Homo-oligomer: A and B are copies of this chain.
């Protein structure tokens, strides 16, 4: 659980009791490549932390598999549009590389908010930060050509291109796989 506690420290300090309380509602799981960690249609009641491996959130639009986001080591995954609304998610979480993850029970976590304001504060900050990333991503999408978006990804997150099938990168960038291949071909 150490990497998780280290991750938390970057956002907000926690007392030993608060750390213990979170650990008590968390489980380490090992998941094989290509497995769905959470399927489409289920309400998100778990917040995951990736210790090792790669994952993505994806969904289907008109029958086409679209990747919403990739996740690597030391990051939190949650389908927030379900977690924060209680509605079933149209999205799934899939493991792309054999992974070791920590699963935090969200309902129990939210209960901890009442007794540990420091935990509520920690997760407030974690999700504020995720919100900022998402806002910045919109800026990256609005008004950039596919080629510009590809080059930006190449600069900012080359690990995505090293560790993830290009077909997923294509849908993440909002283009077809064929277009991505063509763009890459322009050297």
Contacts and interface: CB of A to CB of B under 8 A. Distances in A.
A16 B170 CA distance: 52
Interface string A122-134: 0010011111101
Contacts of A128: 80, 84, 127
B131 A121 contact: no
A142 B141 CA distance: 8
Interface residues of A, number: 32
A171 to B, nearest CB: 7
A139 interface: yes
A64 interface: yes
A102 interface: no
Interface in A62-108: 64, 66, 68, 80-81, 84-85
Contacts of A8: none
A32 B139 CA distance: 27
Contacts of A137: 138
A23 B151 CA distance: 47
A137 B81 CA distance: 11
Given A85-B132, A132-B84, A135-B81, A143 B171 contact: yes
A139 B68 contact: yes
A140 B84 CA distance: 19
A129 B61 CA distance: 23
Interface of A: 59, 61, 64, 66, 68, 80-81, 84-85, 113, 117, 120-121, 124, 127-132, 134-139, 141-143, 171-172, 174
11 contacts: A68-B135, A80-B131, A80-B132, A124-B127, A134-B134, A138-B138, A138-B141, A141-B141, A142-B171, A142-B172, A143-B174
4 tightest CB-CB pairs across the interface, nearest first? A131-B131, A124-B124, A142-B174, A117-B117
